[in-house]
């Protein structure tokens, strides 16, 4: 006997509370296997394919592409064991559902897994489409019976403040669902007039008429809308102004930066440094041949290695503040974040245990994480847990900035573009490769002397890379 199960948006971890539907991977009527990805969602941290823990026939989807859903909201419903219940002249079950030794497990509730990579290991079945007539017969055998429309009383439409149905929506007809979707009718707010509260087409038609009558009555008493409306902050805004929702990566960035500015009393110091020697050392490293040759080392990797050396000397900046306990928490290891601009927005991948790596290892990990960021495949775990951030805004062609600390960290080093400038070198004016370095730090964890000492040490390593030999 078929059973309709509802699959809700699972908790994707890392404190995420909502996700945006980017792309549906299945259609209504498709056959899905246990742990088969059914939808691609975008969270505030990454793109994730969500697998369904049930195997069966998709009977409904909730939300169009671009819709943002909270954790726990329904994603889709699946008729589990639907094909086994079909009879009569319909094709055999093997032509509708993929045969599998685990079919008994599927009908008993699925695997319970919610993230790709944590499935049962069985290959996902190909998507198959069940003909509407066969789908209606299969789903109708669920523990809900369909009564003739003429024998049922007219449904009473619930108003907006009425309670929402919990559990699966009592609808078995795809036609009823499509009609409701076309007219933006929320089936979860309808009281069905069929047996056991089953929602019939007459119920949806009544809801459509109610909405149309309400809209017409409202239009008669509404006053003309002014060309200019007042925005929430009191500033006049044109009625045709574009409004862009703060969600996904943009929303996460907005929340984190706002919290940083609200909670952290930050200060910034900066210094210009002669990077000519650093660039010469990098060129020599990358030009090496023979046994000493290796992967190319980027400027960002060298700067990251300099940061780990500086944090070893000034551990006050590798910290966070526990506001509830009123304590400064100094962290034992350096997990170095670096700012990366992608099509989805600004993200900060984290190089784990950067204090244990050399420049070559850090560079390889930065390259790997950058590629994942560009393709939108970074996991939430790869975007969290940083203790210090390196921001190379010089790639945008700017010299300086006052970066905002990546909450809950205590400091961020900003690096401007490296470009030829006049510089006094060994008592004479010369053209040198100059870079501006800026450090924004949480004044609660240290005073200006510590921050200045950190920045001066970084500048010294940039100007005289041999200084790093002391820590190798």
What is d(CA 274, CA 74) in angstroms, rounded to the nearest whole number?
Answer: 58
H or E stretch covering 389: strand 388-391
Residues with Cβ within 8 Å of 230's Cβ and at least 6 positions away in sequence, in order, are 236, 237
193 touches 206 (CB < 8 A):
no
Please, which residues bridge with residue 7 across strands? 76
DSSP letter for 288, please.
Answer: -
111 touches 120 (CB < 8 A):
yes
Phi, psi (rounded to 5 degrees) for 174: -60, -30
Residues with Cβ within 8 Å of 191's Cβ and at least 6 positions away in sequence, in order, are 155, 156, 157, 158, 197, 203
CA 85-142-29 angle, to 5 degrees, is: 75
39 touches 115 (CB < 8 A):
no
**Catalytic residue at 203?**
no
What is d(CA 79, CA 5) in angstroms, rounded to the nearest whole number?
Answer: 6
59 touches 78 (CB < 8 A):
yes
106 touches 80 (CB < 8 A):
yes
Peptide bond into 194 cis (omega under 30): no
What is d(CA 9, CA 114) in angstroms, rounded to the nearest whole number?
Answer: 9
Active-site residue, from 35, 442, 443, 460: 443
What is d(CA 151, CA 111) in angstroms, rounded to the nearest whole number?
Answer: 41
What is d(CA 378, CA 204) in angstroms, rounded to the nearest whole number?
Answer: 42
**Catalytic residue at 443?**
yes
First vs last C-alpha separation in the chain: 69
What is d(CA 433, CA 394) in angstroms, rounded to the nearest whole number?
Answer: 13
Structure tokens at 150: 């003429």
CA-based nearest residue to 313, from 470, 438, 182: 470
What is d(CA 98, CA 7) in angstroms, rounded to the nearest whole number?
Answer: 20
Give catalytic residues, as residue numbers.
443, 447
């Amino acid at each position: 006997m078929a059973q309709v199960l509802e699959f809700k948006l699972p908790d994707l971890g890392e404190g995420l509370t909502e996700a945006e539907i980017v792309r549906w991977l299945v259609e209504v009527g498709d056959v899905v296997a246990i742990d088969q990805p059914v939808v691609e969602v975008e969270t505030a941290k990454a793109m994730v394919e969500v697998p369904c823990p049930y195997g069966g026939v998709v009977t409904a989807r909730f939300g169009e592409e671009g819709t943002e859903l909270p954790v726990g909201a329904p994603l889709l419903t699946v008729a589990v064991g639907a094909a086994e219940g079909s009879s009569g002249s319909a094709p055999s079950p093997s032509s509708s559902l993929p045969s599998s030794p685990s079919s008994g497990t599927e009908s008993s509730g699925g695997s319970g897994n919610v993230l790709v990579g944590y499935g049962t290991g069985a290959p996902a079945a190909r998507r198959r489409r069940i003909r509407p007539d066969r789908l209606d017969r299969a789903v109708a055998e669920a523990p809900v019976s369909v009564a003739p429309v003429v024998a049922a009383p007219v449904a009473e439409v619930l108003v907006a403040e009425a309670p929402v149905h919990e559990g699966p929506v009592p609808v078995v007809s795809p036609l009823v669902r499509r009609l409701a979707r076309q007219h933006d009718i929320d089936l979860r707010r309808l009281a069905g007039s069929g047996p056991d509260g089953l929602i019939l087409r007459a119920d949806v038609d009544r809801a459509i008429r109610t909405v149309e009558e309400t809209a017409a009555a409202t239009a008669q008493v509404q006053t003309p809308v002014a060309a200019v409306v007042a925005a929430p902050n009191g500033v006049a805004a044109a009625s045709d102004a574009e409004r862009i929702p703060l969600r996904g990566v943009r929303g996460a960035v907005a929340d984190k930066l706002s919290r940083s500015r609200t909670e952290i009393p930050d200060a910034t110091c900066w210094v210009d440094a002669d990077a000519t020697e650093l660039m010469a050392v990098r060129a020599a490293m990358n030009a090496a041949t023979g046994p000493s040759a290796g992967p190319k080392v980027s400027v960002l990797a060298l700067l990251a290695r300099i940061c780990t050396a500086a944090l070893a000397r000034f551990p006050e900046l590798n910290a966070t503040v526990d506001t509830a306990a009123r304590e400064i928490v100094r962290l034992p290891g350096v997990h170095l974040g670096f700012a990366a601009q992608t099509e989805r927005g600004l993200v900060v991948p984290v190089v784990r245990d950067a204090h244990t790596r050399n420049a070559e290892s850090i560079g390889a990990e930065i390259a790997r994480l950058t590629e994942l960021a560009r393709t939108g495949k970074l996991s939430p775990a790869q975007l969290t847990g940083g203790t210090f951030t390196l921001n190379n805004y010089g790639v945008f062609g700017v010299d300086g900035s006052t970066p905002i600390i990546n909450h809950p960290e205590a400091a961020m080093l900003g690096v401007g573009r490296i470009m030829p400038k006049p510089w006094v070198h060994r008592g004479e004016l010369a053209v040198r490769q100059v870079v501006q370095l800026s450090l924004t730090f949480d004044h609660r964890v240290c005073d200006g002397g510590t921050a200045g000492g950190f920045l001066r040490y970084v500048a010294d390593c940039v100007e005289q890379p041999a200084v790093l030999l002391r820590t190798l």
